[in-house]
Chain A
Amino acid sequence: MISRRGALIAGGTGVAVVAGGAGAYKVATGDKPEPPSPPSVNADGKLLWRNWSGIQNAYPAARLAPKDEGELALALKTAQGPIRPVGAGHSFTALAPTTGTLVSLDAMAGVVGWEGDAAIVRTGTRLGALGPMLAEKGRALPNLPDINKQSLGGALGTATHGTGTKIPALHGDVTGLRLVTPSGQVIDADADNNPEVFQAARVSLGSLGVISQVRIKTSANRRLRRRVWLEPFDEALANAEVRWAQHRNFEFYAVPFTGLAANISHDETDEPALARGPDQDTEFLEALKGLRNLLGFATPVRKAAAKALLSTAKPETAVDEGWKLLSTERPVRFNEMEFHLPVENQLKALEEVVRTIEKERPDVFFPIEARRIAADDAWLSPFQGGTRGSVAVHAYYRDDFSFLYSLVEPIFRRYEGRPHWGKLHTLRGQQLAALYPRWNDFLAVRQELDPEGRMLNPYLKGLFGLT
């Protein structure tokens, strides 16, 4: 048995040898070029803003970075609309683009206090920076998403989550928040004080104003033992429920065109730290892309090659503080669709998605992610009303992602999925109202706090069915 890294390196050599002649030509040309990019500066001299994956862009008239709530309140009161808060730009949907004012809270970051074990955190804090700040007090966020670049505000606003049957998404641990409204009013809200604002604002897509700080529960900063192992996809499916019940955090990735799945578990431990080692995920993706480029024309051959290259990889183990393992850099850019499904539908939907992609789209190589998230009661939380199982499909940022809409979304919708607010989907207005029992209550709070719709860009107006 060799490591996944070793298998990939050996595999890469094998692929190169097999490739030769015309094959090598395919490897060299299989990658698409950089997607076309809009001008860096528009005709009015405004600077381009673009999201992380590159598919959303805008030329805002103004970009503001208030340093405190006073500046933020004044900015919201006076700025040209649409006013859109922006974090790291990790949303794939058009939540941030505006021709008006982009508001970054990068200058409003850090832990500003504690109430018992709950931290008071400014929402401009990037998740990657928050881990060490909390660790100084021996605390940590119980769960984290895959990517550590997002701002806390952006992550909360879009119901960003990690994985763990008993662990809610980030907003599920928020017990209080401070909202600065478009009129410049500052509202403190929690379950007892302004409860309707609290339930509406925890997941609100930056549409009620700007949340400047939150009170968020933390847990002891325990060391976690991380395991990554490959196995046949069928076995991963058969064992998934047991593993979700068994592990603190568990997720698995169906690796299309390989017949394999990659499992990842995290469990608390007192074992000594064991370094995670070099980033194998990026190499894994590169190898999968190489197989796509070389053998994408013949699925059976591609599957046989992938199995031969990868099935001998031994499990990887690392031990470290949770914030260092759960959430990382993820340097390979992609576009993504993720829906949150009733748990009884999750694995059926996953199987169907994998089957459909393998039948219709041999250009896809990114693994398909399955996670589990505990319930919470925020009105626009996709986990409102019960634990949900998420399935996420990715497309390399240079590749065509239209199949997400044409092939994948219909499957998710048939299985009663709710879309991730920051990821690609086409649902609007009444379609969303049918999925969220408190949809109209949310819209009423939005109308009250922003009657002129200054926080709404065209995308949000459409999403809320206001056009």
Chain B
Amino acid sequence: MKRGAVLVASALILAACGAKPPPPPTPEQALALRPADARLAALYETSCRACHAMPETGAPMVHDRAAWDPRWKQGEAVLLDHTIQGFNAMPATGQCATCTPDDFKALIRFMAGREDSAK
């Protein structure tokens, strides 16, 4: 327990010091990633994954913190709006015709590697 607490504390200190984001997933890892929730996973697989798990589409890759950090800083409202409206190569709603705004927020959090929205 004590060792675990030290590790957690170290991680928090590193995070507070602006430690480097974790390395991006390999293309194989990116293809294999899915949200834990089965319904979200189905939405992700049908709509987001075709670009966000494929290198060279220009989309920020799933769980690539270096690619997502500057976007995340724009705030959830901006990212949600870009998702609904479409922005640059991103088509409106990521081509998910039935996703709700809450679905989009959860999908963005997952792709940005921030399933815990407090991160």
Query: Is the Cβ of A54 less than 8 Å from the Cβ of B97?
Result: no
State A89–B93 Cα separation when bound (angstroms). Answer: 10
* Contacts A329-B54, A331-B58 given; does A34 touch B87 at CB 8 Å: yes
Query: Is the Cβ of B101 less than 8 Å from the Cβ of A47?
Result: yes
Count residues on chain A whose CB falls below 8 Å from chain B CBs. 35
Query: Is the Cβ of B98 less than 8 Å from the Cβ of A329?
Result: no
Query: Is the Cβ of B92 less than 8 Å from the Cβ of A51?
Result: yes
Q: Which residues of B contact A48 (CB under 8 A)?
A: 84-85, 92-93
* Contacts A49-B92, A278-B56, A331-B51 given; does A54 touch B100 at CB 8 Å: no
Beta-carbon nearest neighbor of B86 in chain A: A54
Query: Is the Cβ of A89 less than 8 Å from the Cβ of B91?
Result: yes
Query: Is the Cβ of A329 less than 8 Å from the Cβ of B93?
Result: no
Interface residue? A63 (CB, 8 A): yes
State A106–B94 Cα separation when bound (angstroms). Answer: 13
* Least Cβ–Cβ distance between A365 and chain B, in angstroms: 17
* Least Cβ–Cβ distance between B75 and chain A, in angstroms: 14
State A331–B94 Cα separation when bound (angstroms). Answer: 12
Interface residue? B96 (CB, 8 A): yes
Interface residue? B95 (CB, 8 A): yes
Query: Is the Cβ of B50 less than 8 Å from the Cβ of A128?
Result: yes
Interface residue? A86 (CB, 8 A): yes
Query: Is the Cβ of A329 less than 8 Å from the Cβ of B100?
Result: no
Q: Which residues of A contact B43 (CB under 8 A)?
A: 106
Q: Which residues of A contact B81 (CB under 8 A)?
A: 40
Query: Is the Cβ of A104 less than 8 Å from the Cβ of B92?
Result: no
Query: Is the Cβ of B97 less than 8 Å from the Cβ of A333?
Result: no
State A362–B102 Cα separation when bound (angstroms). Answer: 44
State A48–B54 Cα separation when bound (angstroms). Answer: 27
* Least Cβ–Cβ distance between B67 and chain A, in angstroms: 15
Interface residue? A210 (CB, 8 A): no
Partner of B51, one of A65, A87, A109, A329: A329
Beta-carbon nearest neighbor of B43 in chain A: A106
* Least Cβ–Cβ distance between A333 and chain B, in angstroms: 7
Beta-carbon nearest neighbor of A60 in chain B: B97
* Least Cβ–Cβ distance between A217 and chain B, in angstroms: 25
A-B contact count (CB 8 A): 83
Query: Is the Cβ of A89 less than 8 Å from the Cβ of B51?
Result: no
Which residue among B42, B87, B89 has the maximum number of chain A CB atoms within 10 Å of its CB?
A: B89
Partner of A333, one of B51, B84, B91, B101: B91
Interface residue? B57 (CB, 8 A): yes
Query: Is the Cβ of B96 less than 8 Å from the Cβ of A333?
Result: no
Q: Which residues of B contact A128 (CB under 8 A)?
A: 50
Query: Is the Cβ of A88 less than 8 Å from the Cβ of B85?
Result: no
Query: Is the Cβ of B84 less than 8 Å from the Cβ of A47?
Result: yes
Beta-carbon nearest neighbor of B54 in chain A: A329
Interface residue? A279 (CB, 8 A): yes
* Least Cβ–Cβ distance between A133 and chain B, in angstroms: 13
A229-251 interface bits toward B, Cβ cutoff 8 Å, 1 = contact, 0 = none: 00000000000000000000000
Interface residue? B10 (CB, 8 A): no
Q: Which residues of B contact A102 (CB under 8 A)?
A: 97-98
Which residue among A47, A57, A148 has the maximum number of chain B CB atoms within 10 Å of its CB?
A: A47
B36-71 interface bits toward A, Cβ cutoff 8 Å, 1 = contact, 0 = none: 000000110011001100101111000000000000
Which residue among A88, A128, A129 has the maximum number of chain B CB atoms within 10 Å of its CB?
A: A88
Q: Which residues of B contact A89 (CB under 8 A)?
A: 91-93, 95, 97
State A50–B93 Cα separation when bound (angstroms). Answer: 8
Q: Which residues of A contact B47 (CB under 8 A)?
A: 106
A32-76 interface bits toward B, Cβ cutoff 8 Å, 1 = contact, 0 = none: 001001001000000111111010010000011100000000000
Query: Is the Cβ of B57 less than 8 Å from the Cβ of A329?
Result: yes
State A88–B91 Cα separation when bound (angstroms). Answer: 10
Q: Which residues of B contact A109 (CB under 8 A)?
A: 46
Query: Is the Cβ of A37 less than 8 Å from the Cβ of B98?
Result: no
* Contacts A47-B84, A278-B56 given; does A331 touch B89 at CB 8 Å: yes
Q: Which residues of B contact A52 (CB under 8 A)?
A: 86, 91-92, 95
Partner of A282, one of B58, B87, B93, B101: B58
* Contacts A63-B97, A106-B98, A126-B46 given; does A50 touch B86 at CB 8 Å: yes
Q: Which residues of B contact A54 (CB under 8 A)?
A: 85-86, 91-92
What are 18 sample pairs from A and B whose C-beta atoms fall under 8 A apart? A40-B80, A48-B85, A48-B92, A49-B92, A50-B85, A50-B86, A52-B91, A52-B95, A54-B85, A63-B98, A86-B97, A87-B97, A89-B93, A106-B97, A329-B54, A329-B56, A331-B57, A331-B89
Given contacts A52-B86, A89-B97, 9 further A-B contacts (CB under 8 A): A47-B84, A48-B84, A49-B97, A63-B97, A88-B95, A104-B98, A148-B50, A282-B58, A333-B89
Interface of B with A (CB < 8 Å)? 42-43, 46-47, 50-51, 54, 56-59, 80-81, 84-89, 91-93, 95-98, 100-101
| Top 4 closest pairs, chain A to chain B, by CB | A50-B92, A104-B97, A65-B98, A331-B89
